[in-house]
Structure 1
Amino acid sequence: MKIRVQEAPFDAGAELDAFAHGRHEVGAVVSFTGIVRDRDGGLVHMQIEHYPGMTEKAITAIAETAKARWDLADLVVIHRFGTLPVGQPIMMVATAAPHRRAAFEAAEYLMDYLKSRAPFWKKEVTQAGEHWVEATPEDEDALSRW
């Protein structure tokens, strides 16, 4: 299990290749990479803040729950902080499991919980100003299935 919270950009393809390389004990590797998107055409960048130590501890707890719930060989979570321009990867989740269902479900669980429960504070800086990003009802509803 690898958890990284970092300011530096990462190469999702290289990370996935390294994660999957030599895994002969698994039948499935699932990954998701979140990208900073510009929904309304005015986003300049996203600013993400966190408390070091607290963030890693929270993400580790979410990841340990996933490993306990599904038959996973391994998982990786990478999440960035700092100033992220549009189009940059913001986070990545990858799971490896003997069977695809476990890999897919665990990856979805991780994504849903990271989006709603990981202690990050996100601010969108737009051409018109800036505002903090709040959790949406859809984000909260996604947790109800777990």
Structure 2
Amino acid sequence: MTADECSGWVVTLSGETVLYTGTAYVDGGHMERRTLRTHTRRLGGSVAPDRSRAVTVLVHGDLGGRRLTDPERGYSQKLVFVERLMRERGQHVHVIDDRGFENLLHGLSARCHRLRESGGSLLAVPAAVQHVPGMGGC
């Protein structure tokens, strides 16, 4: 899938290959990677080995206190890797935040974000069409 083909929403993790960066806060507390992986598999997704080209979804958590590869933008090594995949291979990777992951756990859609060129961390991609829960999406 290319970025132009993304509607701006992820409606399921089924069939997706997921990578995580940062600390995910779900349902009011920190969720350990082991638990994130368990939920991903339960939702029909698979877990990517570290920085795999097979990644289709990146769950972006809080990066506070971590060593950043791109401190100007606040990007971890995995965010930089995903950006490179998208730029060099033309491969769209859905970037969702931990709130989006929480939404998916509860049967809701997650906003797909795109990476900024400079400054800040994530910028929401506008939906191509009006989102109707359960109907289409990324």
- The two structures share one fold, judged by TM-score above 0.5: no
Q: Highest Rg: 1 or 2?
A: 1
TM-score by length of 2: 0.28
- More strand per residue: 1 or 2? 1
TM-score by length of 1: 0.27
